[in-house]
Amino acid sequence: MFHDPIYMILVMLPAVALSTFAQWRVKSAYGTWSRVRNEKGLSGLDTARVIMRSVGLEDVGIGRVAGRLTDHYDPRAKEMRLSESSTQPTVAAMAIVAHELGHAEQDKTGHAMLRLRASLVPAANLGSQLGLLLIIAGLLLNVLGLAWLGVFLFSAMVAFTLVTLPVEFDASRRAKRYLTDLDLVSPGEREGVDAVLNAAALTYVAAAAAALLNLIYYVSLLRRRS
């Protein structure tokens, strides 16, 4: 399939182009607003504490994680983990921290799409690791049933990427509401918050689009073989 011009033109090139553009947007937005000190002078940690008190998330722990842009909320440990860059008093840090607390609130309130995404994790991991291998093996051995099984497994990973979109969009919506309603950002800083969160969301859109394009191609390829 990697020598198929249809695959290269209709799947590979669009996926690579969208992914590259998304990564550029993230680097550009984060690079700009991680250098802008917020007017309140609040570090990411300070911002987290203010939001947590205001929305009833005092039971969420705060930890540290190595790396840059590695911030995440761990629903198993009920802990938000901040990277070094997100502890700084910048607009970007406020946006990232607020977004992760959006996930913490989703977890606390039992957000339906977050729960669905969590339920898809085992199948998605299996689909991403085994699905493509079965598709290739089925095509090489001319055992289409095996290839279709691979497509079925791969579709679980695609479903995971699609369900991730509303989860991430909702967390960003909550983040913007926190920062605005609590008067933590000025109108000018809201522009920066939007830029950082919208750029991050584009990476999930790129991943979902790439997964979906691959699935469509695999299905069309097997139908042609049939």
For the segment 91-123, what is each residue's pLDDT rounded down to a tens digit? 999 999 999 999 999 999 999 999 999 999 999
pLDDT at residue number 2: 58
Which residues sit opposite 125 in a β-bridge?
Answer: none
- What is the chain's alpha carbon radius of gyration, rounded to the nearest angstrom? 20
> How many structural domains is the chain composed of?
1
Examine the pLDDT at 225 and tell me if it is beyond 90: no
What's the rounded Cα separation, in Å, for the pair 44 and 89?
6
Examine the pLDDT at 47 and tell me if it is beyond 80: yes
Range of the domain at 187: 5-225
Residues constituting the chain: 226
Q: What is the mean pLDDT of residues 196-223?
A: 96
Average pLDDT of the chain, as a whole number: 94
Distant-in-sequence, close-in-space partners of 112: CB < 8 Å, separation ≥ 6: none
How far separated are the first and last CA of the chain, in Å rounded? 16
pLDDT at residue number 164: 97
Virtual CA dihedral for 119, 202, 199, 111, nearest 10 degrees?
Answer: -30
pLDDT at residue number 32: 96
User: b/e map of 165-191 (b: 16 or more CB within 10 Å)?
Assistant: bbbbbbbbebbbebbeeeebbeeebbe
Q: Is 100 one of the catalytic residues?
A: yes
In 3-state terms, what secondary structure has residue 40? coil
Which is higher by pLDDT, 34 or 5?
34
Question: Where residue 4 falls among pLDDT bands split at 50, 70, 90?
Answer: confident
| pTM, full prediction | 0.92
pLDDT at residue number 155: 97
- Half-sphere exposure (CA, 13 Å, Cβ side) for 91? 25
Identify whether the C-beta of residue 95 lies closer than 8 Å to the C-beta of residue 171: no
pLDDT at residue number 1: 62
Using alpha carbons, list the distances in angstroms from residue 108 to 55, 59, 126, 151, 171. 11, 10, 28, 34, 13
pLDDT at residue number 67: 86
Examine the pLDDT at 74 and tell me if it is beyond 80: yes
Q: What is the mean pLDDT of residues 135-142?
A: 92
Catalytic residue among 79, 84, 100, 189: 100
pLDDT at residue number 6: 86
Which of 50-59, 168-177, 189-198, 217-226 is least confident?
A: 217-226
Q: Is 113 exposed, middle or buried (0-12, 13-18, 19+ CB in 10 A)?
A: middle
